[in-house]
Structure 1
Amino acid sequence: MLSSTTSPTNRSKSSSSTSPPKPTAPSSAPNISTGSTPSDASRLAIPSGNSTAENNYHYRRQTSRTTATPSTPSYNYNTTPSSSSTSYYNYNNHHHLSSHMSPQAYLTRLLDVQQMDIQSALDQMKTLCSTSPSRAYKTSYYRKQTKDHWARDDPAFFALQVVFLVCTSIAYVIAFRVEGRGFVSGVLDFLVKSVGVHYIGWGVIMATVGRLISNDYLTVVGGTGGGSSSAGIGGSGGREIHVKQKVEWLYAFDIHCNAFFPMFVLLYALQFFLLPFVLGKSLFAMVLANTLYGIAFSWYFYITHLGYRALPFLSNTEVFLFPIAVVVALYVLNLVGYPFGFGWNASRMMAYVFFD
């Protein structure tokens, strides 16, 4: 007969199997996935006594914490104007005009000598007289990248050139011993012709004409730029141009200033020391004088070509080299016509214009 008495061992086993699970301490950690604190029911629903279920629960909790990503606000970074070509060009033209320095502001800076970078201007003058004058226009490319304009905002180059012309004016007045007028009036007269007419007047004409030719006939839109068949400054050859740009008048005047300096070195400085040789009436004097002027004017138009070639939105800038053909033709014409009394000495003509 089976005994109904339960052994202590069996009693302990049955009590352990029927005892309710021990409640765990409530967790105050927020639910990362929902952004709220778990409810009391969810806290009590944590499995206990079953290691596999408990491990799965904690794995799901850990996964929800690591995979939850906070929501980030969305921003509209598209600041490009309307896709319409008309509105885009209107926007660019307004930005173009507002970022450029006016001639009035440029002239105002001439009065602030302390802000001029004299050393940089001297370095550019040295580069223009070297065998690689195109390196002088790299500063214009960097200026466009940083300040959004091509022209110089420092008038130091222009101011130094005027100072050099004043010095040579005094030297030429002393050398030619101008009679019938005082020394001061002679210097002032030479300054008006050299600075006012040759440097500034000729520069205004060349800058205006060069800018008109470039903007009306050489500007590239929707194609490739680079100024010529080879790459321009900054590797711009073959670059696609999608924005209509225009040549700044001050940049065109900067091109004249750059091109004028080698001419100044040859026709004002070097010619001063060659006056005893170039003012004669012999064939040698005529050849020496005309060669000096031919090199000076050819170098002027070559550096002018380099200045417009540096702009990536211009093409076919070789047109600025065409005046060199006229210079060569005049040189050959004077040389061939000399035996027939048909030749001009450029230095003697210069002396007549400036001192007679």
Structure 2
Amino acid sequence: MSVLPLSSPTFPRNGSPSPGPMRSSGSLSNRIPVIFRRLTRFQQMDFELAAWQLTYLCLAPKRVYRNVYFHKQTKNTWARDDPAILILISGCLAVSAVAWSVVYSYSPFQAIELAFLMILRDYLLVGAIMATILWLFSNKALLSPPSHSAPSDSAVEWAYAFDVHTNAFFPLYLTLYLAQLFLVPIVLRSNWICLFISNTLYLAAFAQYTYGVYLGLNALPYLVRTEILLAPLLPLFTGYIISLLGFNIAKHVLPMYFGS
């Protein structure tokens, strides 16, 4: 199983792979998801649709996943091929980086560095790791038993798993990167009420992410037992209850992230 199973290699009629560097170059290009290959085609991006999706990911996330069926019928892929949503989320992270930089009195260079850190590490790198985990787990443990009526492409695409991360990440972004920004004077205070607000904020963020991942994979008709994806909610809530005894998450996370 390849790392990004987006296409199958082509073979000549004699059954052996075609030699030469041209095949290697084409194969490498095809392994990169379409959404990343189109990052520079701004004129072809539908930012209005991407903004609509981001809005409904907060208001009614199930509506967003209803569109994947239409996308599958028209483009024969579950994963989105328009990188507009990546650009919008990256822009949101850049704006947040500037705002956090003002709070912590960062220099312009530090603000730019923080923006790249949020985009490349928090969103893209973590997203690639999560997508790989979801892709492997879904195809190993959640696929329905094969049958003669099942379509031949009944497998989770890595690019779709990254879509699931993207969709689940945006509500987390609003909670931890935006709402927490306005609550910094409160969540860092040393009293139980502020500790409760701080830890509840982190509980809400990661519970939203977990639920978003569940919704994304539950939308695929050939996956079963997707309720397993909600299992992290139990240790998450247990850790939250224990943390209320005196462990303020924000007071430990923010100094690690921004320095003391």
The TM-score, its normalising length taken from structure 2, stands at 0.84
Amino acid at match of 1:290: N
Amino acid at match of 1:155: P
Matched, 1:258 2:161: no
Amino acid at match of 1:124: Q
**For 2:135, which of 194, 200, 211 is the aligned residue?**
211
- Correspondence list, 1:56-67, <5 A: none
2:220 aligned counterpart, secondary structure = coil
Deviations 1:279-309 (A, max 9, x none): 1121111110110110110010101001000
**For 1:195, which of 119, 129, 147 is the aligned residue?**
119
1:154 aligned counterpart, secondary structure = coil
Larger RCO (alpha carbons 8 Å, 6+ apart): 2
Residues 134 and 303 in structure 1, CA contact (< 8 A), matched pair in contact too = no
Percent identity (aligned): 34
For residue 113 of structure 1, what is the aligned residue in structure 2?
42
Amino acid at match of 2:58: C
For residue 48 of structure 1, what is the aligned residue in structure 2?
none
**For 1:348, which of 230, 251, 256 is the aligned residue?**
251
Q: Which sections of structure 2, spanning at least 5 residues, go unmatched?
A: 10-29
Quick one: structure 1 residues 200 and 219, their matched pair in 2 at CA, closer, same or farther if it must change by over 3 Å?
same
2:39 aligned counterpart, secondary structure = helix
Matched, 1:156 2:84: yes
**For 1:173, which of 90, 101, 119 is the aligned residue?**
101
For residue 233 of structure 2, what is the aligned residue in structure 1?
324
1:129 aligned counterpart, secondary structure = helix
Alpha-carbon distance in structure 2 between the residues aligned to 1:318 and 1:173:
39
Alpha-carbon distance in structure 2 between the residues aligned to 1:221 and 1:105:
29
Q: Which sections of structure 1, spanning at least 5 residues, go unmatched?
A: 1-93, 225-239
Quick one: structure 1 residues 112 and 331, their matched pair in 2 at CA, closer, same or farther if it must change by over 3 Å?
same
Alpha-carbon distance in structure 1 between the residues aligned to 2:151 and 2:56:
32
Quick one: structure 1 residues 223 and 287, their matched pair in 2 at CA, closer, same or farther if it must change by over 3 Å?
farther
Residues 151 and 250 in structure 1, CA contact (< 8 A), matched pair in contact too = yes
1:328 aligned counterpart, secondary structure = helix
Which of the two has higher C-alpha Rg? Answer: 1
Deviations 1:48-76 (A, max 9, x none): xxxxxxxxxxxxxxxxxxxxxxxxxxxxx
Alpha-carbon distance in structure 2 between the residues aligned to 1:271 and 1:323:
23
- Correspondence list, 1:27-38, <5 A: none
Amino acid at match of 1:346: I
The TM-score, its normalising length taken from structure 1, stands at 0.62
Structure with the larger helix share: 2
1:149 aligned counterpart, secondary structure = coil
Alpha-carbon distance in structure 2 between the residues aligned to 1:222 and 1:246:
11
**For 1:125, which of 50, 54, 57 is the aligned residue?**
54
For residue 23 of structure 2, what is the aligned residue in structure 1?
none
> Structure 1 residue 346: deviation in Å?
2.0
Matched, 1:274 2:183: yes
Residues 131 and 165 in structure 2, CA contact (< 8 A), matched pair in contact too = yes
Quick one: structure 1 residues 96 and 309, their matched pair in 2 at CA, closer, same or farther if it must change by over 3 Å?
farther
- Number of residues of Structure 1 aligned to a counterpart in Structure 2: 235
Q: Compute the RMSD of aligned alpha carbons.
A: 2.1
TM superposition outliers: structure 1 runs of 4+ over 3 Å:
94-98, 221-224
> Structure 1 residue 349: deviation in Å?
2.2
